[in-house]
Structure 1
Amino acid sequence: MTTETAHDLPVDERLGILTAEYVVGLNIFRDIAAAVRDTFGGRSETMQRGLREAREAALDDLRAQAVQLGADAVVAVDLDYSEISGGGKSMLFLVASGTAVKLSQV
């Protein structure tokens, strides 16, 4: 779930906002592969793997934080991706955020 307005998610208490940051370097090989794909079209599997890796790591971090708080779920999850580049290097930066909640016991 990415929203707490779902009818089957009885939120009882909001415990707080969680954030997780993940930064991965896009080495020269990824940069070259992306440039080739940009020029000739198609999907860059290398870049997709990097995005998937970042997303999974950030969501794992949110889950771990939720467990530490005693939360039952994390709702309203938002993923924001950015690229940071300079000095001939580029990095992928991902921030994941969501609200840790306790659910009503049925």
Structure 2
Amino acid sequence: MITSTTNHLDGKFVTDYIQLVSGQTIMGANVVRDFMAGITDMVGGRSGTYENKLNEGKEIAIREMQEEAAKLGADAVIGVDLDFETLRDGMMMIVATGTAVKISEHE
């Protein structure tokens, strides 16, 4: 499924705006384990452990959003926005939202 942060797709025409769709994930993190792993892979202020966790959560949220759009008969999701929030107790929430649309090659 085509998924884009833009509201237009080059060479495609939106024929029907279906509805807002979203996908979300809440991921728990063992703070001590992840902190210790983060110390070992910190290079230049970056932690591969946390980056991998963020990417994993992002992919899950996008996939859920795409699945919801597919159930509605959409060909694409446009105007996608990703939100990342940290919750209490080391939990992380990632939400992907966008507009499910039908598209065509011709106007």
TM-score, length-scaled by structure 2: 0.82
Structure 1 partner of 2:25: 22
Give runs of ≥4 in structure 1 deviating > 4 Å.
Answer: none
Question: How do 1:13-92 residues align onto structure 2 when only pairs under 5 Å count?
Answer: 13-27=16-30, 28-34=32-38, 36=39, 41-85=44-88, 89-92=89-92
* Identical aligned residues as a percent: 35
In structure 2, do the counterparts of structure 1 residues 42 and 77 end up closer, same or farther at CA, with 3 Å as the change threshold? same
SS at match of 1:26: coil
The root-mean-square deviation of aligned C-alpha atoms, in Å, is: 2.0
**Structure 2, unaligned runs of 5 or more:** none
Provide, for residues 26-85 of structure 1, a one-character-per-residue CA deviation record: whole Å limited to 9, x for no partner. 112113444x48x98521111011001000101110111111000000000000001012
**Structure 1, unaligned runs of 5 or more:** none
Q: Distance in 2 between matches of 1:32 and 1:82?
A: 22
Alpha carbons 1:71, 1:101 under 8 Å: kept: yes
